[in-house]
Homo-oligomer: A and B are copies of this chain.
Amino acid sequence: MSEAQGLERLSLNVWTTKKWTLAEAVAGCVEQGVPGIGLWRDKVAEHGLEAAAKLVREAGLTVTSLCRGGFFTSPDAAADNRAAIDECVTLGTDVLVLVVGGLHRGSKDLPAARAAVLDGIAELAPYADSRGVKLAIEPLHPMFCADRAVVSTLGQALDIAEEVERRTGCRSVGACVDTYHIWWDPQVFEQIERAGAAGRIHAFQACDFLIPIPADALLGRGHVGDGVIDIASFARAVRAAGYAGFTEVEIFNQEIWDTPGEQTLRTVIDRHTQLLTEL
C-alpha cells in the first residue's frame, strides 16, 4: 500500500499542532497530503467563522469534526451548544464532539450531574437533527470525571444515546471513540461493536497514553506508538464495527506543541503509515 493511499482517511486535529494558526494547519495538511482536519472552535473564531469555512473548503479538506460542545452542567450551555451546531453547518462538518462537563460547581452529586447531561443532550438533539449535525459524546478518561466529563465509558455514552432516542426520536446521538480515554475499559471492544451496529461511531480519535502521567494530567498524550495502548487493535475494531470515517489524531502534549508543526505532522503521518494503515 502506498503512503498516499494510506492517508486517505487521516485527519489532523488542529490542537495537535497547537501553535499553528488555522491557516498554517490547513496549508500543512495540503502540503503533506493529509485530507482531513479536525477543528476547534477557538481556532475557528480566531480566523473568523466564514473565512475559516472558505479556507478549508477551498483547500479541499474534509472537516472531520468540530470540538467542542457540551458542558451541560454549566449555566448557559444550551445557547452555546446551539451556536456550536450552527458553526458545524457553516464549516461543512456533520459531527460536533461533546465534552459533557463535570460535577455541578460545589457539588459531589455525580448521579445528578449525569442526569443533567442526559437532559441537556435530549434537549439539544432535536436541534442537531434539524440541522443535520450528529452529536458525538466523548467519554473522557475517569481521571477527568469530576471536572470535565461525567461520561467515563463508551457504554455509558451509548446508554445516553439510546435514552435520548427513546425520549425524542432523534437518532443523531452517538460517540467519539478516543483511544486515550477508553483503552483501559474491560468492556470497550464489545461496546465498540455495539456502537458500530447502531451506527453511533461518529468519530475516531487516536493518540497514545503516556506513563508516567505528567504534572498536568491533561497533557499526557503521545504520538501513536509512544505510549501503552495497542492502538491498531482499536483501529481494527472500529473498522470491523462498520466505521468508515477518518482517523483523527488529537494530541495534547507540551513537548509536541513546542515542536514545529511541520515536524509534528510528519510524525503523525509516519506513525499512521507504520502502525495504522496496514490492518
Q: Please list the residues of chain A having a beta carbon within 8 angstroms of any beta carbon in chain B.
A: 103, 108-110, 114, 141-143, 145-147, 152-153, 155-156, 159, 183-186, 209, 211-215, 217, 228-230
Whether A143 pairs with B146 at a CB distance below 8 angstroms is no
Inter-chain contacts of A217 with B (CB < 8 A):
143, 212-213, 217
Whether A143 pairs with B213 at a CB distance below 8 angstroms is yes
Q: Which of B109, B110, B184 meets A110, CB within 8 Å?
A: B184
Inter-chain contacts of A186 with B (CB < 8 A):
114, 152-153, 155-156, 159
**A228 and B159 alpha carbons, distance in the complex (Å):** 24
Inter-chain contacts of A183 with B (CB < 8 A):
110, 145
Whether A145 pairs with B213 at a CB distance below 8 angstroms is no
**A142 and B186 alpha carbons, distance in the complex (Å):** 10
Inter-chain contacts of A110 with B (CB < 8 A):
183-184, 230
Closest Cβ of chain B to A77, distance in Å, is 20
**A186 and B140 alpha carbons, distance in the complex (Å):** 13
Q: List 27 A-B contacts (CB under 8 A).
A: A103-B228, A108-B228, A108-B229, A108-B230, A109-B230, A110-B183, A110-B184, A110-B230, A141-B142, A141-B143, A142-B142, A142-B143, A143-B143, A143-B217, A145-B184, A145-B228, A146-B184, A146-B211, A146-B228, A147-B212, A152-B184, A152-B186, A153-B186, A155-B186, A213-B213, A213-B217, A215-B215
Inter-chain contacts of A211 with B (CB < 8 A):
146-147
**Interface of A, helix, strand, loop or mixed by DSSP:** loop
| Tally of this chain's copies | 2
* Closest chain B residue, CB of each to CB of A156: B186
Are A185 and B142 CB-contacts (below 8 A) given A213-B213, A215-B215? Answer: yes
**A156 and B109 alpha carbons, distance in the complex (Å):** 24
Closest Cβ of chain B to A194, distance in Å, is 15
Inter-chain contacts of A155 with B (CB < 8 A):
186
Closest Cβ of chain B to A158, distance in Å, is 11
Closest Cβ of chain B to A62, distance in Å, is 30
* Closest chain B residue, CB of each to CB of A108: B230
Are A209 and B146 CB-contacts (below 8 A) given A103-B228, A110-B230, A228-B108? Answer: yes
Closest Cβ of chain B to A111, distance in Å, is 9
* Closest chain B residue, CB of each to CB of A181: B142
Inter-chain contacts of A230 with B (CB < 8 A):
108-110
Closest Cβ of chain B to A263, distance in Å, is 25
Known: A109-B230, A110-B184, A142-B143. 14 other contacts (CB 8 A): A110-B230, A141-B142, A142-B142, A142-B184, A143-B213, A145-B183, A145-B228, A146-B211, A146-B228, A147-B212, A152-B186, A155-B186, A159-B186, A214-B215
